[in-house]
Amino acid sequence: MANKKGVIGILTGGGDVPGLNPAIRAVTIRALREGYQVVGIRRGWAGLVDIVRDKNADNSNNYQFLSEEIVNRAGRTGGTFLHTSRTKPSSIKKASVPEHLQGQYAEEKNDLTPEVLKNLDFLGMDYLIPIGGDDTLSYGVRLYKEGVKVIAIPKTMDNDVPGTDYCIGFSTCVTRTISLTNSLRTIAGSHERFLVLEVFGRYAGFTAMLPTMAGAANRCVIPEFKFNIEHLTELMSKDREANPSHYSVLLISEGSMYEGGEMVFEDRSTDAYGHAKLGGIGDLVSAQIKDISPKFNKGKTVDVVNQKLGYMVRGGDPDAIDSIVPMAFGNLALDLLLKGVHGRLVVLKNGRYDNMPLDVVTASKKVVEVKHFYDTDRYRPIYENFEMKPLFIMTSE
């Protein structure tokens, strides 16, 4: 690759969210104007795994050179035009080892980091800017420890990357959840039903808590606190009775668990990070509160409107916050790079842009701090002590 001041690689990994393209745009435009070349790595870490290190080989499926024209066209849209994957190069299953490497890597799980390092060298990468959640960025920590100059940008709809109050994608997710819930409440009200909406959130309940705080739901259940189904049905029945339109609304995180129970999985297959596919807690809870409802409704059954919001909350264009924050994060990353600083995570902390050591990503977990923010008896957020809290109220500190 032609080298001016240096070559910057940028990639997106994990789930797509609105705000990724604005972040890519911000990094690229600033870097080009500072005299760097920018290369977009396709399909997250996967794009760095199966490169053929031969100058005559066609590796165009793995990367593309980025220009202002390319990133301006994509920069206002949702998703990621570089594509994404959940590939973890340090744990590649035997069947997924690239054809030209199968003779060298024949274990059930293979660490292809040595190949990634050689591929980065082959591509002439001087710096790497991964954009992702704690899974994607944990591999960024690995590469940094191997000597790669990494500056990371936090992205996840669940808002659960440690070290930062805000992750790209969260605001749009909350905005969409409130909007979709308000659309569905007209149906629940018309038929006098319970409305149960399942939202993303494997370990952290921020995506259920914030819309509930904003008035979208009466109750929410979250992964951080195991719920009692009978108590939940009683609370929802009281909410329904008190509502002039005779309905009540529950937001439930996909990772929520019953008392004495575990997470609910769609199947037992796992991704490269060892996560089984979650889904179905909303269906189970809907069926059970319907069965239990006569106990709290004078012997009569209450029907349920049950909807999995799922991908609807992370499709489409970014909102204002997910257009502005990625722009700032991208420029923060370039500020660090220009100062010769790496091994950092750009963050929003207490309303201020800053940066943290990159290994904060692997040092802790960011979840809802139940005792400060969640009423474990009423299954809803605590509405007090907001002074000096950040914009979206909850951090894990």
Strand-strand pairing, 344-349 and 352-357: antiparallel
Catalytic member of 158, 165, 239, 322: 158
Hey, what are 171's tokens?
């605001």
Hey, what are 306's tokens?
């049950």
Asked if 39 and 7 count as a contact pair (C-beta separation under 8 A), the reply is yes
Residues 6 or more apart whose Cβ sits within 8 Å of residue 242:
none
- In angstroms, what CA-CA distances link 188 with 238, 249, 253, 338, 341? 15, 8, 20, 54, 54
Is residue 359 annotated as a catalytic residue, yes or no?
Answer: no
b/e burial code for range 132-142 (CB count within 10 A of at least 16 → b): bbbbbbbbbbb
Asked if 152 and 361 count as a contact pair (C-beta separation under 8 A), the reply is yes
Asked if 316 and 339 count as a contact pair (C-beta separation under 8 A), the reply is no
Hey, what are 141's tokens?
């920590």
Catalytic residue list: 158
